[in-house]
Amino acid sequence: MNSEILEKIKEECRKLPDDVSYIVGFVRKQGEPREILRVLRPGEIDRLSYSPLSSSNPSRIVMDLAKSGKVAVIAKGCDVRTLKQLEKEEKIKRERVYIIGVSCPGVIDYRKFRNAVKFRLSEIESVELVGDDVIVKANGNEQRIPFNELIFENCLYCEQPTPKDCDVLIGEPREGRTDFSDIEEFEKLDREERWKYWMDVFSKCIRCHACREVCPICYCEECLVDPSNLAVSPMTPAEEKAAYPRVLGKTVSASDNMVYHLMRVLHHAGRCAGCGECERACPMELPLLKLERKLKKVVYEVFNYSPDEEIPFLSKLDILPEV
């Protein structure tokens, strides 16, 4: 199945407009079936690869490259929504990006994949999604695993598997759905149970900032909480550097980690496309998307703001509830 998609992608890449200088796509990693984002030149099309493990969101790379030239990108539904959000915030000019949209049936969670597969990662030759099964081929024999056992949990609640505004679409469109049943389920717990759950989650956080650095819309040079860089220039006066508003420094504890994540998530209100990069990147495998999806639920239900609006959520002030 995905070998057909790969053929179509390659075909599209050969017919790219000639002012495209970069192609951002997936390349198979050496020694394991993982798909890595790579910036390729138009001449290197045969290095491209595509499989249900092509889960990363290329928007971060497209945002940097689009500054200096036209970029073609192989993008799934959630990636295109991130690109659209970055376009809304004037970080990307739409005419600088040539989007090859791929209708996405959901991606595989590599952690579930590694636990379920019985071969050594280095032996695996191909991972194919055929119908509802994933077929893993390795030195001669084959393992068939139901897709819903490997699917990245977030993709079950995908709102837009088919890219909306793209230059060319591959694969037949699929319907998304807005469903917050998992959040409603969690909100049934009483307050102390919820607090205990999140304290247990955040006690494992090691504040490595992978969730912040991989997030395509967390592009601030300097963060309020535990900054890993400061926007300082030789002309910055000493008083300004001395009076930096430091909400949180480097102290690590379950409650401090919660302040870090609350502040990070709060800034994604109405902007997060739900691509799941943060949860995939977290080395301690924390359920970070739960917070993002709760905020998305508030943005949709309390403010009834729809992400397809042109005006960014933060500047829309006529949608305040009366309460």
Partner 1 sequence: MFDPKIITFACNWCSYAGADLAGTSRLKYPDNVRIIRVMCSGMVNPGWVLRAFRQGADGVVIAGCHPGDCHYTVGNYYAKKRYILLKELMKFVGFDDERFKLLWASASEGKLFAEEMTAFTEKIREMGPQEKLRRKIE
Partner 2 sequence: MSSVLDEPMKNPYLPYKAEIVEIRDEVKGIRPIKTFKIRLIGRERFDYKSGQGCLVSVFGRGESWFTIANSPTRPDLEFSVLKTGKVTTKLHEMEVGDVVGIRGPLGRGFPLEEWKGMNIITIGGGIGQTPLRSIYQYVIDNEKDYGDLTIIYGARTSRDLCYRDELFQLKEQGFNVELSIDNPEPDWPYFVGFVPDNLKRIKPDPENTIAITCGPPIMIKITLRVLKDLGFKEEQIYTTLERRMKCGIGKCGKCKLESIYVCRDGPVFRYDELSRLLEEA
Partner 3 sequence: MKVYNGNFLKDVVAKLLEDGYRVYAPVREKNYHVFKIVESVDEVSFDYVNTKKSPKDVTFPQNEVLIKYGDWVEEIPARVDKTAIVGIRPCDIQGLKLMDSVFLEDITDPYYEAKRKNLLVVGYACNEAGDYCFCTSVGLSPFRSDYADILVTDLGEKQVVEILSEKGKIIASELNLSDASEEDISRKRELERKVLSSFVRSVNTENLKERMAQAFNSDYWKEVAMNCVSCGACTYLCPTCFCFDIFDDGELKGVRVRTWDSCQFPLHTLESSSHNPRREKWQRLRNRFYDKFYYMLVRKGEFYCVGCGRCIAACPVGIDIADVISNIPSEVKQ
Q: Which residues bind partner 3 (CB under 8 A)?
A: 29-32, 34, 36-39, 56, 60-61, 111, 114-115, 120-122, 204, 206-210, 212-214, 227-230, 232-234, 236, 241, 249-253, 277, 280-281, 283-285
Q: Number of helices and strands (H, E) in the chain? A: 12, 8
Tell me the CA distances in angstroms from 157 to 148, 160, 177, 238, one per residue in order.
13, 9, 7, 49
Candidates 242, 245, 304, 310; binder of partner 1 (CB under 8 A) is 245
Is the Cβ–Cβ distance between 174 and 114 less than 8 Å?
A: no
What does 62 interact with, of partner 1, partner 3, partner 2, none (CB < 5 to 8 A by kind)?
none
Is the Cβ–Cβ distance between 180 and 297 less than 8 Å?
A: yes
Candidates 149, 224, 287, 300; binder of partner 1 (CB under 8 A) is 224
Give the tokens for residue 81. 């929504």
Enumerate long-range contacts of 304-307, CB under 8 Å, 24 or more apart: 305/270, 307/81, 307/85, 307/270, 307/273
**Range in contact with partner 1 (rule: CB under 8 A) among 87-95, 128-136, 163-171, 265-273:** 265-273
Give the tokens for residue 66. 């689009």
Counting every residue written for the chain, the total comes to 323
What does 208 interact with, of partner 1, partner 3, partner 2, none (CB < 5 to 8 A by kind)?
partner 3
Max CA-CA distance within the chain?
68
Candidates 242, 317, 320, 323; binder of partner 2 (CB under 8 A) is 242
Nearest C-alpha neighbor of 12 from the set 255, 247, 20: 20
Residue for token pair 């977030």 = 154
Task: Report, in Å, the least distance between residue 120 CB and partner 3.
Answer: 6
Does residue 300 belong to the site contacting partner 1 (CB under 8 A)? no
**C-alpha of 58 from chain center:** 8
Per-residue buried b or exposed e for 21-33, using 16+ beta carbons within 10 Å of the residue's own CB: ebbbbbbbeeebb
What does 191 interact with, of partner 3, partner 1, partner 2, none (CB < 5 to 8 A by kind)?
partner 1
3-class DSSP state of 13? helix
Nearest C-alpha neighbor of 80 from the set 184, 162, 172: 162
Nearest C-alpha neighbor of 100 from the set 155, 150, 45: 45
What does 239 interact with, of partner 2, partner 1, partner 3, none (CB < 5 to 8 A by kind)?
partner 2
What does 192 interact with, of partner 2, partner 1, partner 3, none (CB < 5 to 8 A by kind)?
partner 1
**Range in contact with partner 1 (rule: CB under 8 A) among 19-27, 136-144, 157-165, 261-269:** 261-269
Candidates 269, 281, 287, 300; binder of partner 1 (CB under 8 A) is 269
Task: Report, in Å, the least distance between residue 237 CB and partner 2.
Answer: 7
What does 121 interact with, of partner 2, partner 3, partner 1, none (CB < 5 to 8 A by kind)?
partner 3
Q: Which residues bind partner 2 (CB under 8 A)?
A: 237-239, 241-242, 244
Q: Which residues bind partner 1 (CB under 8 A)?
A: 186-187, 191-198, 224-225, 245, 247-248, 251, 253-256, 258-259, 262-263, 265-266, 269, 291, 294-295, 298, 302-303, 314, 317, 320-321
